[in-house]
Amino acid sequence: MSIRSEVGSGTTSRHGGSLFAAAAVHRDDDGNSLHAPVLVLNASYEPINVCAARRALVLVLKGVAMTEEENGHFLHAARVAMRVPSVIRLLEYRRIPHQSRALSRKNILLRDRNTCQYCATVLPSSELTLDHVIPRSRGGSSTWENLVACCHACNRRKGNQSPAEAGMKLMREPRAFNLHTSRHIMRLMGRSDDKWRKYLFY
């Protein structure tokens, strides 16, 4: 089975699905524990991905991965209480192809770290849109190099103009999300989680 289908898929197993159907996150936390980022390690302890805690728990329940670090929260279900992981490790080594990730809204927002590339405001995914740097009506294509995360206010301000015409400037030149970009983002995220550091900085 490919790393994409195991780590990237949102499909749950029969056991994982039944657990989450009956589960509720303990309300001592902020209610977002299942959406917290989890670092995914290969069997060799090499960092290869970041997924949501919900997906990480499914991988552990399916026997695909094991928990290496916990984030301090609990998932309470009818018959079990599970610690929510912060770092998981795949039990079998997976070869990771050195190629760009699929072009998608999720990956654009991940590349841009949920930050509007015009005003530098950090927002939840639901409050961001994608902007075509060169508008589609003027020949702009839907590519890594022409799509950026953008807040709705900046998107309205820019309208059907180029950034220069709108008097706006991009924070950085948009690039394809490749292995180097992915590792860089993992390291940036790891700065705020001490449990990630020993796997990301060596």
54 and 135 inside one domain: no
Identify residue 13 by its one-letter amino acid code: S
Asked whether residue 28 is domain-assigned, the answer is yes
Q: Specify which residues 147 forms β-bridges with.
A: 132
- At 7 the pLDDT is 54
109 and 78 inside one domain: no
Q: Is the entire prediction scored with pTM above 0.95? A: no
- The CA-based diameter of the chain, rounded to the nearest angstrom, is 60
**Number of folded domains in the chain?**
2
32 and 84 inside one domain: yes
72 and 154 inside one domain: no
Asked whether residue 175 is domain-assigned, the answer is no
- At 100 the pLDDT is 58
Domain that holds residue 33: 3-98+185-196
94 and 121 inside one domain: no
65 and 82 inside one domain: yes
Over the chain (202 residues), the average pLDDT of each successive run of 10 is 46 43 42 79 90 90 95 72 90 77 85 94 94 95 96 97 96 82 72 79 56
133 and 90 inside one domain: no
